[in-house]
A and B are shown apart, each in its own frame.
Chain A
């Protein structure tokens, strides 16, 4: 089955620790995205990548880092510099081109930092 997987579903960390969220896709999509969702707000883009070994900051990249060493994988690290890391994190992927393509979303990871 083709799709996007994120792990874990729930993650708990102490303040001051870095944490890495996993995102894997087997859809052969070139583009991958990380979004953050907070109650009462729309999804906000953290980072995106349209090709291996390249990525761009989104609207709220501060305190986050990513890598794209393989087409299938786009892990997100939430660093201790992120002031309010508790949130729901969604990964997505899509084809790339002149036309707009649907984005396919993973099930999300709910991160709680105390």
Chain B
């Protein structure tokens, strides 16, 4: 079993819909990262969080440490949000290494 599991694997939405991507992990962590990978392959860091909730524009990330679960929400989705969203965790007591989920491929249709 992977230490970081994401769901769903693939997600198709209509423009304007509210999107939720989930991430569950099975180890103690010191931080959780949400990353975005565009079709060209480049990866951008969206959020890093260790508790609570963070918001940036239409993106919201939440984490529940007790339940070992995080969600990434996109409000008023747009075709330009189409990308692969990746959850990664820094294991508690470990080095700077991250453990990655397999990613959720999001397609937003106009």
Contacts and interface: CB of A to CB of B under 8 A. Distances in A.
Are A and B a genuine interacting pair, yes or no? Answer: yes
A40 B9 CA distance: 9
Contacts of A50: 95-96
B interface bracket (residues with beta carbon within 8 Å of A) = 20 to 34
B41 A42 contact: no
A53 interface: no
Contacts of B69: none
Nearest to B2: A42
B41 A31 contact: no
Contact of A100 (B43, B90, B101): B90
Contact of A107 (B41, B48, B86): B41
B97 interface: yes
Contacts of B42: 105-108
